[in-house]
Structure 1
Amino acid sequence: SILPKLIVLDLDNTLWTPELYQIRKPNCPKANKEIRLFPGSISILQHMADHREEWQSTQLAIASRTNKAHWARQLLEDFEINGRPIRSLFPYIEIRTGSKKNHFANLRDATGIEYRDMLFFDDDANLNLEEISHLGIMCSHCPRGLTSALFVATLQKYESLKAQHERNFMGYILSAVSLGLEEAQEVDEGRVTTGTIKFFNPTKRFGFVKEDNE
């Protein structure tokens, strides 16, 4: 399995919802009350935290343009996975206003990882993903937040392109449409059910699907 060396996540409307600028109050919003992690974010971070040996060659980073940096940093401490702040899963954090090209330049300098070995998830295709893809970074568009299905399909696409040539140009913007994502469907005794991928094991190439009606 060929995994990115660095997976970078946006915050607002990617990792959590709503966006911080939408909160009209003077104090930091409460985690799990006023701000919530997307279900896909929880599943993905939980899986990576529980299977660190399978992800030992992959690091996580944050790249956010929010002007509420102090709130964002506090929320990263307040949200928890396995009783630990999710901040502990992200050794590299870039939260500042301005072009995300600066965020990624800093990440490259801090990690020593080339752009072609990075993968970026963001909800803003018109600005953020457009300019970051020009750096040669594979990007994945998640307009309604990060989902397990999109995460899995993006990793599979990354692997297939890398397998063709390790130094292949990777500056593509992927989406649910371009990846051909559809809800998983199966017929069981005349019953049609839909579901979502809970997580995917990239090494053993299997995952779990949760039925939507569970």
Structure 2
Amino acid sequence: MTDLVLSESLTAVRARLEEALRAAGRPADDARLLAVSKTKPAELIREAWHEGQREFGENYVQEALDKQAELADLDPIVWHFIGPLQSNKTRDVAEHFSWVHSVDRERIARRLNDQRPEALGPLDICLQVNISDEASKSGLSLDELPALAEAVLSMPRLRLRGLMAIPAPAEGLAAQRAPFARLREALEGLRERFPEAPLDTLSMGMSDDLEAAVLEGATLVRLGTAIFGARAHR
């Protein structure tokens, strides 16, 4: 992807997000763009950074660490871990990321808390909810959510910010909105239950359903294909 094409795709995505926020009656700065850079080379991330993009999402720990080393001169840059997280990778994530969107077990949360360097400050956390109840998807159920939220809120080196979900693909705006609405309602329930917690984040919406997510309150939309083009297979 050339500089010109990446510049054009980022401009188009930003305009699309701005229009979605306008249609939802929300302020233009009410949702942020997370550029999903998994499988994409570091030079593309560098190009996007020079176009003003600051937040990037990665799914694979070693791939992300390699990119972070190559891009260490870029400041500020905010790395989000958005993929399934295994116990043997938690230390690397705790030490090298600012956000984790995919926490769905207390064991993983506790390892992240224990391994987070105190000097870095709290690690921002989203709990991943399997909002469509898909057997093949990671995430906890809505019934399990309050207990895990309470556990994470007791961990001093984690900061619970909100919820993340990857709904099953759906056709049509109404069908796309339904699972996002359930996630929004779940976050509202947590806010009532834990009023002192900084629960301000709904990480939801991707290239195919951004508009539906924004209508239901998304504050972080995770777009990869619309910015960088089709993903390379690992």
TM-score (norm: length of structure 1): 0.30
Bigger helix share: 2
Bigger strand share: 1
TM-score (norm: length of structure 2): 0.28
